[in-house]
Structure 1
Amino acid sequence: MGNSSNRNPWIWIPSLYLTEGIPYIVIITVSVIMYKKLGVSNSDIGLYTSLLYLPWVIKPIWSPVVDLFGTKRKWFLTMQLILSLVFLGVGLTTAGSSFFFMTLAFFWMGAFASATNDIASDGMYLIALKPEQQSFFVGLRGTFYRIGMITGQGLIVMIAGYLETTLGDNSKAWSYTMIAVALLMLILTAVNYLSTPNVEEEATDRTAREASFGKVFINFFTKKNIGISLAFVLLYRLGESQLVKMASPFLLEGRQTGGLGLSTSQVGFLYGTIGVIALLLGGILGGIAISRHGLGKWMIPMALSLNLPNLLYIGLAHFQPENLFFAGTVVVVEQFGYGFGFAAYMIFLIYLAEGLFKTSHYALATGFMAMGMMLPGMLSGYIQEWLGYTGFFIWVGVAMIPALAIAASVRYPREFGKKTD
């Protein structure tokens, strides 16, 4: 096998992160819609699909295995192939009498495979690119991950809806849809096999291969300023983690109960077209900005960019404008701000993973990132019901204060991420 370490990142980064986003959103979100349409009770849906999130939170526990054995490329290609088989399994068991437990078992296997795929794919990103390239491509990477999520939440759900109407049988519709997802994953696995570089970490320090699991974790938690660094990872998106759970329900909720009363197709249009374009632009520009000037110059502006647009939802909730233009404008500004502001967060996670065991340490960092999204998100619905939509969005604005305070306090090299030549 020839050396292909110089394969074009503009090709393999989009396909690799598309293949991260699609299985995640299908397992976590599309499964909820599928079970609802197949007649499963809300209590069962809530309990069992929430538990599917667990592998992404605890993935740091087995991330050292990916770091210490095999290559990142072999790991993610194997996991992607397993995911193809998982979705085929879901598709083939959807129409059975025990479909709930059978499909859930496949989703559980898929959740662990998808979380492991994330570890290995992120590891490839860290070892195949120089630090300045990591900064430059962070926007592209994040954008295609989100496009993968939107493909799942939008296109795949639309296909299922079309088949439900055409076939008049929800079980068959979702069976065919999941088989189509399996085929899509197989195609993406083949693309990644052909496009990703055959590189692995330089063996400059043999201890990286011989280390015990304990050493990997100890090395992470004894990093300089680790306490404030983890506080940053947990708090930077404190407001956004709650907003992201309640924004769509607010847009869909009837006007008499405080929402905007938009249709599902209108919300899909806002997030799936103009919202995604804004997210794309924000993410790419954020990556370019840091690669030119370093993280230090952009940390506070990006923290403001991520948080300030959330305040616009207070106006939407208070005035409840009927014209779609106003909701569309808020979604565009919020999505652009999120894309731009998230670049600083991703670059900081890369900084936090620097040194030995990059892949394991990045997985640890993203495990805390998942926790920072999961815990506030779990409470967001209760807070919204208690305060109403206007009060909830004011609360989201208040949550910006600790986020900005920790962004101003966290320590890192100001020039980190800056392109050197």
Structure 2
Amino acid sequence: MSTRKTFRTSLWVGSTYFIEGLPYMIVKFMSFVFFTDMGVREALLGLLNLLGIPWNLKFLWAPFLDIFGTKRGWFLKIQAVLIVLTFAIAVLAGFVSKDDPSSISILQLIAFIFVALGFVAATNDVAIDAYYLEGLSDPKEQAAYSGLRVLTYRFAVIYARSVLVAIAGLVNWFWSFGAGAATLLAFLILHKFLLPKFEAKREGPRSTVKEAMDNFKRSFASYFKRDRIVLILFFIICYKLGDEILFSMNTPFLMRELLVTKTQLSLISGMVGSFSVIGGAMLGAWWIAKQGLKKAIWPITIFMNINILAYVFLAVIRPQANTFNGLALIAFVHSYENIAAGLGNAALTIYLMSLCNREFKAAHYAVGTAVMSLGATVIGSLGGALVEQIGYVWLFTISFMASIPSIALLLWLPVEEKK
């Protein structure tokens, strides 16, 4: 591959995966910070975890993107809709005041737009992943750019958590969401002229609806025909369940119980937390490459889950972020827990990949990730109601207890090493 082509490929791979990560963070992270800042009660904040449902279900409508239009066309149209919805949230956020009772109806409308934005953003993921596989059909090329995909997606996570949240803290939410919409617009203009038209060169008829659905059923059925599938599914759901319960109410805990401001949150969650997760994931990948998944998954799982107790400790002593020592301790524990979470992410990702057979690799991985996030979506939605009834100390204690089954299941779990 020529240097010019390599650079162009790197540019569109990097930019598309940045735009895959940014809408996800607007929906899944910024919504939490916004509604927490607006004084919404914990029980309702917990329900924001249900915004993850579109990502759980996106594999159901993914085949239709291959039937109607092109991946590039889908991606550009979807990105335009993302801009409109994000800007609509920005405009409405400009009229909201947490001290004004009349703002409730506006907050309800914003919540509805977030739901719509979630479905569009999840479809955006499908279009980008499909476009990537269409443009880089050679598995060696896909592997060569996999690191860039992860890196630029993480840049989007850091950008949303740090820059956009910091704008909300330093100015207001109109400018925060407005900056998000402007970023999406800038990338839409770039992609309009940058993205190659791979599918225009493709010969032969496109799949029919029946062919696509038959292939979908076959790939779906083959995933569930493996030995000990019930045990495997239960393990996937349970593996990060403790972490997911903890992080389901992490933002309200930091902002309300420990008095972390939006600007401080942009540093703790955006910079410290994001880089800690990346570092943990890299350490986990190295560990597994050195020891093998079968040996490494045990200590990684135990370490990941025991570290939940660090948040129980925070909830008990409640250090305040308006003091230097308090902020330093909060940042340290947050970093420590995110490193452990990154280790677990690496182990679970590699395990999910080991379950994929060659013929249906993309479909099997999509099913695995959907099952993986099921616990976070469903059980995480109850976190706010639990906080109102029993408080954060007991929520985080339950989080630790919920992590124990994943350790126990390792005794019987079939773990295959991919050669």
SS at match of 1:341: helix
Query: Tell me, what secondary structure is at the counterpart of 2:359?
Result: coil
2:279 to 275, 281, 285: 281
Relative to structure 1, is the Cα distance of residues 191 and 412 closer, same or farther in structure 2, using a 3 angstrom cutoff? farther
Quickly say closer, same or farther: Cα 1:183–1:248, change in 2 above 3 A: closer
Local SS of the residue matching 1:410: coil
Q: Given the alignment of the two structures, is residue 376 of structure 1 paired with residue 379 of structure 2, yes or no?
A: yes
Q: CA deviation at 1:62?
A: 0.8
Deviations 1:28-52 (A, max 9, x none): 4434655677x89769975995664
Aligned twin of 1:24: 24
Aligned partners of 1:261 and 1:36: how far apart in 2? Answer: 12
Please name the residue that 2:224 is paired with: 221
The corresponding residue for 2:100 is none
Note closer, same or farther for the CA distance 1:41–1:246 as it changes in structure 2 (3 Å cut). closer
Any conservation in 1 of the 2:167–2:176 contact (CA below 8 Å)? yes
1:284-321 per-position Cα deviation (integer Å, ceiling 9, x unaligned): 33334445554334322332342222122233333445
Question: How much does 1:339 deviate?
Answer: 1.3
8 A Cα contact 1:296 1:415, kept in partner: no
- CA gap of 1:400–1:27, structure 2 versus 1, over 3 A, is closer
Aligned partner (choices 148, 160, 163) of residue 152 of structure 1: 160
Q: Equivalent residue of 2:235, what SS?
A: helix
Structure 1 partner of 2:409: 406
The structure-2 alpha-carbon separation of the partners of 1:73 and 1:281, relative to structure 1 and needing over 3 Å to count, comes to: farther
Question: Helix, strand or coil for the counterpart of 1:414?
Answer: coil
Q: Could you tell me how far apart the structure 2 residues matched to 1:49 and 1:388 are? A: 18
SS at match of 1:217: helix
C-alpha displacement at 1:326, in angstroms? 2.6
Q: Tell me which residue corresponds to 2:329.
A: 326
Q: 1:240 to 1:227 in 2, by over 3 A?
A: same
**Do the aligned partners of 1:7 and 1:196 also contact (CA within 8 Å) in 2?**
no
Structure 1 residues 385, 180: closer, same or farther in 2, change over 3 A? closer
Task: Describe the superposition over 1:80-99 as per-residue Cα deviations: whole angstroms up to 9, x where unpaired.
Answer: 33322433454566679996
Paired residue secondary structure (2:418): coil
What is the CA-CA distance between 1:222 and the residue it aligns to? Answer: 2.5
State how far apart, in whole Å, the 2-side matches of 1:202 and 1:348 are. Answer: 36
Which amino acid letter does the alignment assign opposite residue 366 of structure 2?
A
TM-superposed CA distance for 1:404, in Å, is: 1.6
Paired residue for 1:342, among 333, 345, 349? Answer: 345
Q: Look up the match of 1:87.
A: 86
User: What amino acid does structure 1 have at the position aligned with 2:62?
Assistant: S
Q: In the alignment, residue 235 of structure 1 is paired with which amino acid?
A: C
In structure 2, the residue matched to 1:118 is 125
- Using a 3 Å threshold, how does the CA distance of structure 1 residues 386 and 9 change in structure 2: closer, same or farther? farther
Does structure 1 retain, via aligned residues, the 8 Å contact 2:242–2:400? yes
- The 1:389/1:93 distance shift into structure 2, 3 A limit, reads closer
In the alignment, is the contact (CA less than 8 A) between 1:28 and 1:50 conserved in 2? yes
Alignment of 1:7-406 (within 5 A): 14-31=14-31, 52-66=51-65, 72-91=71-90, 106-123=113-130, 128=136, 141=149, 144-164=152-172, 174=174, 176-189=175-188, 194=194, 198=198, 210-212=212-214, 213-254=216-257, 260-291=258-289, 294-321=292-319, 323-324=325-326, 325-406=328-409
* Shift in alpha-carbon separation, 1:219–1:382, aligned structure 2, 3 A: same
Aligned length: 398
1:21 deviation in Å? 2.3
Relative distance call for 1:87 and 1:8 in structure 2 (3 A) is same
Q: In structure 2, the residue corresponding to 1:115 is in which secondary structure?
A: helix
Deviation at 1:346, TM superposition (A): 1.6
Counterpart-to-counterpart distance in 1, 2:147 and 2:108: 38
**Cα deviations by residue, 1:258-298 (Å, 9 ceiling, x for unpaired):** xx444444343222222222222222333344455543343
* Cα distance, 1:246–1:229 mapped onto 2, change above 3 Å: same
Quick one: structure 1 residues 88 and 392, their matched pair in 2 at CA, closer, same or farther if it must change by over 3 Å? closer
Alignment TM-score, normalising by the size of structure 1? 0.75
Compute the TM-score of the two structures, normalised by the length of structure 2: 0.75
Q: Residues of 2 paired with 1:41 and 1:320: CA distance?
A: 21
Give the Cα separation in 2 of the matches to 1:375 and 1:58.
13
What are the superposed Cα offsets for residues 153-180 of structure 1, whole Å, 9 maximum, x if unpaired?
442233244444xxxxxxxx62x54443
Distance 1:101 1:266, change over 3 A: closer
Letter in 2 for 1:240: D
For 1:403 and 1:136, the matched residues in 2 are separated by 32
CA distance in 1, matches of 2:129, 2:366: 8
**Deviations 1:59-106 (Å, cap 9, x if unpaired)?**
222122235666655544443333224334545666799966775665
Note the C-alpha offset of 1:244.
Answer: 0.5
Q: Deviations over 1:166-209 (max 9, x none)?
A: xxxxxxx62x5444322211333455673789599999xx9996
1:114 Cα deviation from its structure 2 partner: 0.8
Out of 335-344 and 210-219, give the one that drifted further.
Answer: 210-219
Q: Aligned Cα RMSD in Å?
A: 4.3
Contact 1:119 1:360 in 2 (8 A): no
Once residues 334 and 42 of structure 2 are traced to their aligned partners in structure 1, the CA distance between those partners, rounded to angstroms, is 31
